[in-house]
Structure 1
Amino acid sequence: MTTAEFIREYRERDIRQLALQANRFPDVDMPYALDQIQGWQIARRKLPKWAACDGVIFPPHLSMEQCSSEPTAQYKLNLAMEWAERVGHASSMTDLTGGFGVDFSFTSCAFAAATYVERNEQLCHIVEHNLPLLGLNNATVVCADAVEYLSTVEPQTMLFLDPARRDEHGAKTVMLADCTPDVVQLLPKLLEKSRFTMLKLSPMLDWHKAVDDLQGTVREVHIVSVGGECKELLLVLSTVVESELKVYCADLSTASDTSSLFVYTPGSSAPVANSKLKTQNSKFVHEPNASIMKAGCFDELAAAYGVSPVSRNSHLFLSDEPVEDFPGRSFVVERVTTMNKGELRKALAGIEKANIATRNFPLTVAELRKRLKIKDGGDVYIFATTTAEGEHLLLISRKYR
């Protein structure tokens, strides 16, 4: 059995079990085969179009885990196309930190010519092999250091960077200055060599500080979530376009759809008054999606959708009527109770299972679940929070949408 045959036949198997059986297949390059099987298994989840493409070579595990998923890569393509139209130019782009090439394979489609730059020679060979299989014929692969190449590249419509977010010991870094290459140091050259630059950064990064560090050149901040988890922070830099900063909070559901998109200008809304909860009132409670939680745009959200915060630090919002397009999840509040034992017993009567979340509450989910003696699951949602007056309450709810 050849290595290629082994990969095709066993690609759905557990790689740990396959590694233990290596002696059974003396003609198979087992380390390579296991890398390809593991890569394909990850791609089936993150990059289904790539997984369905025969002949694609996958890199070692770390590169696969760090690469973009199809929904986030598609989002970047849409963003690149919008900005290319905005600057009236779509001739060329260069990805200075190519990696496995997922983002490059998508964003390059917006331009007449595209250059992939990567200092890892192995990744360059892999990408050079994969691009024609993926139908990309406008691309050039260059094995070079990003900083050195930037000094020689001709002006581009777009430059793209995804700086490495691990230090020399492999530990994750989230500060912009700790990433490689140092974007702040490269800023003058990036602006000189592009009509706009797109940066992909860690979702853990403080976007406010990043905007400050980039000295007024950031035109847009895009906070992108998939499946309720914040995945990417994208910044678009330009001196060609002059505009006030806008923040886009996108929550992606599929490879082609944006389930919710909230756009705002930082500082555009005055604080909204806290809601006054009453146990006899039936209201709707709204939980913002992960992108909005990351953005911290709670005043702007409340003003835009006519909802009231439970308190300044609860990050839960109430309304008397349903809000059909709220960017997050909405629930019907059936009961509200304090932590008084008698009230709790009455409010929780008949509830054996519930999904519990704590927001600005003195107990953890585990501690509260133990006190309430309720199992996890079911269709009841309990939000434990604290009002502006300091009262600890439980909002017993069911999903509205």
Structure 2
Amino acid sequence: MTTAEFIREYRERDIRQLALQANRFPDVDMPYALDQIQGWQIARRKLPKWAACDGVIFPPHLSMEQCSSEPTAQYKLNLAMEWAERVDHASSMTDLTGGFGVDFSFTSCAFAAATYVERSEQLCSIVEHNLPLLGLNNATVVCADAVEYLSTVEPQTMLFLDPARRDEHGAKTVMLADCTPDVVQLLPKLLEKSRFTMLKLSPMLDWHKAVDDLQGTVREVHIVSVGGECKELLLVLSTVVESELKVYCADLSTASAPSSLFVYTPGSSAPVANSKLKTQNSKFVHEPNASIMKAGCFDELAAAYGVSPVSRNSHLFLSDEPVEDFPGRSFVVERVTTMNKGELRKALVGIEKANIATRNFPLTVAELRKRLKIKDGGDVYIFATTTAEGEHLLLISRKYR
């Protein structure tokens, strides 16, 4: 059995079990085969179109885990196309930190010519092999250091950077200045060599500080979530286009187009008054999506959708009427109770299990679940929070949408 045949036949098997059986397949390059099988298994989840393409070579595990998923890569393509049209120029782009080439394979489709730059010879070889299989014939692969190449490149429509977010010891970094290459240091050259630059950064990074560090050149901030988890922070830099900073909070769910998108201008709304909960009123409680939680745009959200915060630190919002297009999850509040034992006993009658979340509350989910003696799961949702007056309450709810 050849290595290629082994990969095709066993690619759905557990790689740990396959590694233990290596002696059964003396003609198979087992380290390479296991890399390919593991890569294909990750791609089947993150990059189904790539997984369905025969002949694609996958890189070592770390590159596969760090690469973009199809929904986030498609989002970047849409963003690149919008900006290319905005600057009336879609001739060329260069990805200075190519990696496995997922983002490049998508964003390059917006331009007549595209250049992939990567200092790893192994990744360059893999990408050069894969691009034709993916139908990309407008691309050039260059093995070079990003900083050195930037000094020689002709002016481009778009430059794309995904700086490495690990230090020399492999530890994650979240400060812009700690990434490699140092975008702040490269800023003058990036602006000189592009009509706009797109930066892909860690979702852990403080986007407010990043905007400040980039000295007034950031035109858009895009906070992208997939399936309820914040995945990417994208910044678009330009001196060609002068505009007020806008922040885009996109929740992609599992599709390539946003299932919810909230756009706002930072500081555009005055603080909204806290809501005063009344147990006799039926209300709706709204939980913002992960991108909005990351953005911290709670005043703007409340003003835009006519909802009221439970308190400044709860990050839960109430309304008397349903809000059909709220960017997050909405629930019907059936009962509200304090932590008084008598009230709790009455409010929890008939509830044997529930989904519990704590927001600005003194107990953890595990501690609260133990105290309430309620199992996990079911269609009841309990939000434990603290009001502006300091009262600890449970909002017992069911999902509205």
TM-score tier, shorter chain, comes to: over 0.9
User: How far did residue 235 of structure 1 move?
Assistant: 0.1
Q: For the residues of structure 2 that align with 1:122 and 1:257, how far apart are their CA atoms?
A: 33
User: How far did residue 360 of structure 1 move?
Assistant: 0.3
Contact 2:72 2:256 in 1 (8 A): no
Residue-by-residue CA offset, 1:111-148 (whole Å, 9 max, x unaligned): 00000000000000000000000000000000000000
Contact 1:310 1:318 in 2 (8 A): yes
User: How far did residue 289 of structure 1 move?
Assistant: 0.1
Residue-by-residue CA offset, 1:315-361 (whole Å, 9 max, x unaligned): 00000000000000000000000000000000000100000000000
Residue-by-residue CA offset, 1:287-309 (whole Å, 9 max, x unaligned): 00000000000000000000000
Contact 1:380 1:396 in 2 (8 A): yes
Aligned to 1:315: 315
Partner SS for 1:181: coil
Count of aligned pairs:
401
Partner SS for 1:159: strand
Contact 1:358 1:383 in 2 (8 A): yes
Partner SS for 1:394: strand
User: How far did residue 249 of structure 1 move?
Assistant: 0.0
User: How far did residue 237 of structure 1 move?
Assistant: 0.1
- After the TM superposition, which residues 133-212 of structure 1 pair with which residues of structure 2 at under 5 Å, given as runs? 133-212=133-212
RMSD: 0.4
User: How far did residue 255 of structure 1 move?
Assistant: 3.4
- After the TM superposition, which residues 47-196 of structure 1 pair with which residues of structure 2 at under 5 Å, given as runs? 47-196=47-196
Contact 1:273 1:308 in 2 (8 A): yes
Taking structure 1 as the reference length, what is the TM-score of the superposition? Answer: 1.00
User: How far did residue 58 of structure 1 move?
Assistant: 0.1
Unaligned runs of 5+ in 1: none
Q: For the residues of structure 1 that align with 2:96 and 2:165, how far apart are their CA atoms?
A: 15
Residue-by-residue CA offset, 1:220-265 (whole Å, 9 max, x unaligned): 0000000000000000000000001000000002333210000000
Q: For the residues of structure 1 that align with 2:256 and 2:293, how far apart are their CA atoms?
A: 23
Residue-by-residue CA offset, 1:271-301 (whole Å, 9 max, x unaligned): 0000000111110000000000000000000
Q: For the residues of structure 2 that align with 1:206 and 1:398, how far apart are their CA atoms?
A: 34
Contact 1:314 1:385 in 2 (8 A): yes
Unaligned runs of 5+ in 2: none
Q: For the residues of structure 1 that align with 2:274 and 2:34, how far apart are their CA atoms?
A: 55
Partner SS for 1:33: helix
Q: For the residues of structure 2 that align with 1:279 and 1:307, how far apart are their CA atoms?
A: 18
Contact 2:166 2:179 in 1 (8 A): yes
Residue-by-residue CA offset, 1:131-168 (whole Å, 9 max, x unaligned): 00000000000000000000000000000000000000
Contact 1:222 1:233 in 2 (8 A): yes
Partner SS for 1:398: strand
Residue-by-residue CA offset, 1:7-60 (whole Å, 9 max, x unaligned): 000000000000000000000000000000000000000000000000000000
Residue-by-residue CA offset, 1:48-107 (whole Å, 9 max, x unaligned): 000000000000000000000000000000000000000000000000000000000000
Contact 1:74 1:255 in 2 (8 A): no
Partner SS for 1:322: coil
Partner SS for 1:180: coil
Partner SS for 1:268: coil
Contact 2:75 2:257 in 1 (8 A): no
Aligned to 1:220: 220
Contact 1:222 1:249 in 2 (8 A): yes
Partner SS for 1:85: helix
Aligned to 2:250: 250
Partner SS for 2:115: strand
Partner SS for 2:76: helix
Q: For the residues of structure 2 that align with 1:142 and 1:264, how far apart are their CA atoms?
A: 39
Contact 2:119 2:145 in 1 (8 A): yes
Residue-by-residue CA offset, 1:192-219 (whole Å, 9 max, x unaligned): 0000000000000000000000000000
Residue-by-residue CA offset, 1:355-391 (whole Å, 9 max, x unaligned): 0000000000000000000000000000000000000
Contact 1:228 1:290 in 2 (8 A): yes
Q: What fraction of aligned residue pairs are identical, expressed as a percent?
A: 99
Partner SS for 1:80: helix
Contact 2:94 2:160 in 1 (8 A): yes
Q: For the residues of structure 2 that align with 1:256 and 1:231, how far apart are their CA atoms?
A: 13
Q: For the residues of structure 1 that align with 2:352 and 2:189, how far apart are their CA atoms?
A: 61
Q: For the residues of structure 1 that align with 2:203 and 2:339, how far apart are their CA atoms?
A: 35
Partner SS for 1:286: strand
Q: For the residues of structure 1 that align with 2:259 and 2:239, how far apart are their CA atoms?
A: 31
Q: For the residues of structure 1 that align with 2:361 and 2:312, how far apart are their CA atoms?
A: 13
Structure 1 stretches (4+) deviating beyond 4 angstroms?
none
Taking structure 2 as the reference length, what is the TM-score of the superposition? Answer: 1.00
Contact 1:119 1:145 in 2 (8 A): yes
